[in-house]
A and B are shown apart, each in its own frame.
Chain A
Amino acid sequence: MAVRLKDMLKREPILSSGHRMCAGCAAPTVVKLMGMALRGPTIVCEATGCLEVATTIYPFTAWKIPWIHVAFENAAAVASGVVEAINAMRDKGRYKDEQVDVIAIGGDGGTFDIGFGALSGALERGHKFVYMVYDNGAYQNTGIQRSGGTFPGQETTTSWAGKVEPGKRQRKKPLAEIVAAHKIPYVATVDPYHYRDFITKFRKALEADGPAFIHAFSPCPRGWRSDTSKSIELAKLAVETGLHPLYEVIDGKEWIMSGPSKRLKELRPVDEYFKTQGQFKHLFKPEWAEFRAWIQEEVLKDWEELKRKCGVS
């Protein structure tokens, strides 16, 4: 890598202050870390979501780099259009910049559910762009509805917890694995606490020869009913409990577990993560003890399977 991590860490944030993201939201930190990994002119295509709604209120924007807002479902499709438009203009000699990176950003709703078709299509066509999902576990922007990225046991406004239901019953969609199955050059999961890991991986994604995918974990104090100051700590805890393990997949076949996850001797119990948030508090009632045990079991199973794929014992 020509640019050292130490120098990247001194870059100015690409998002200016005074935007409307909630206090304590980790998504602007995710964008800031993404900005540090950039290697030159960059165009960002962003699907509708918290980040889009809160940072770009016409006629102003908090983004210091070129940015396009697209509909909920087609961030990946627009990004592929931008890539190909640049290629076509370059062929005709109408485009001066040597190299432009295109990044598509979506929230977990816009990626796991609504934009999934467009994402899958763009990956199949093989345009050279990076897709980053910032995953805060629900449609937080429209009022905390459940999404494919919601954890089992999580209470949202469309999966209420009560006497009959323990919140969402279904598993979380293993999106990074699904994307890796497209055999694209680079897939990685990241979180804002491990910033070195984050920036290094994002840079790798930009340098990949073809589409790349980044799954960023992004705590949301509003929707998760957690303390605003704990967001970064929660990101760390999600890695340590195995709810969001960090790994890379190269060409869909080579699985590499990243340092922060690899260094864990054993996972911390998921209860430690659940205790920090109001959205999981019902799980500690006696009637849901069994359900909580099931979640823990599933997390451990997934962890063992991931270790096997990565060849870590």
Chain B
Amino acid sequence: MPKTSYSMPVVGSTGKTGSWRTFDPVIDYDSCIKCRTCWLYCPEASIDIDEEGYPRIDLDYCKGCGICAQVCPKKCIEMVRGEVAREGGDA
């Protein structure tokens, strides 16, 4: 045991925040220009960049705020009322 109590850094420190989401971000990969703007502004850090440079959204943690859709210069992210959340069973 350490002498003082401390917290460990983990992903999902307060659980899967994806259950908060009402609208799911859906990316149109055909018009995506890999500019990383959504990745930069995402407050949740739930967007990862894959090997090809495209953004991939981690729906386990995405809270569905819609900032990515709003900042996208090509407007290729659409917020769709969620089916993904409902499949999780807690929407």
Which chain B residue has the least Cβ–Cβ distance from A36? B40
A61 and B13 contact, Cβ closer than 8 Å, known pairs A23-B20, A228-B67, A230-B70: yes
Q: What per-residue 1/0 map shows which CB atoms of B25-66 lie under 8 Å from chain A?
A: 000000000001000111111100000000000101101111
A13-21, A37-45, A108-116, A251-259: which one contacts chain B?
A: A13-21
Residues of A within 8 A of B41 (CB): 29, 192, 195, 232
Instruction: Determine which of B7, B9, B36, B67 lies in contact with A229 in the assembled complex, contact meaning CB atoms within 8 Å.
Output: B67
Minimum distance in angstroms from A64 CB to a CB of chain B: 5
Interface band, chain A:
35 or more
Interface centre among B5, B40, B45, B79 (most CB of A within 10 A): B45
A189 within 8 A of partner (CB): no
Which residues of chain A from 49 to 86 have a CB within 8 Å of any chain B CB?
54-64
A231 at the B interface (CB under 8 A): yes
Chain A stretch 143-181: residues in CB contact (< 8 A) with chain B: none
Q: By DSSP majority rule, is chain B's interface helix, strand, loop, or mixed? A: loop
A9 vs B67: C-alpha distance when bound (angstroms): 18
Tell me if B43 and A59 are in contact (CB < 8 A).
Answer: no
Interface membership of A278, Cβ < 8 A: no
- Indicate if the CB atoms of B61 and A18 lie closer than 8 Å: yes
A149–B34 Cα gap in the complex (Å)?
Answer: 37
Contact status B8-A61, CB under 8 Å: yes
Alpha-carbon gap, A61 to B8, bound state (A): 6
Contact indicator A229/B14 (Cβ below 8 Å): no
Determine whether A206 belongs to the interface, using a CB cutoff of 8 Å to chain B: no
Binary contact readout B6-22 vs A (1 if CB under 8 angstroms, 0 otherwise): 01111111111100110
Partner of B67, one of A16, A24, A60, A64: A24
Max chain A CB contacts within 10 Å: which of B11, B43, B44? B43
- Given the known inter-chain contacts A23-B20, A229-B69, please indicate yes or no for A62 contacting B43, CB distance below 8 A: no
**Nearest chain B CB to A50 CB, angstrom units:** 12
Chain A positions within 8 Å of B, measured between CB atoms, are 9, 13, 15-29, 32, 54-64, 192, 195, 221, 227-233
Q: What are some 11 contacts across the A-B interface (CB < 8 A)?
A: A17-B61, A20-B14, A26-B43, A29-B43, A56-B7, A57-B13, A58-B7, A60-B7, A60-B13, A61-B13, A221-B65
Ranked 4 nearest A-B pairs via Cβ: A229-B66, A18-B12, A23-B63, A24-B65
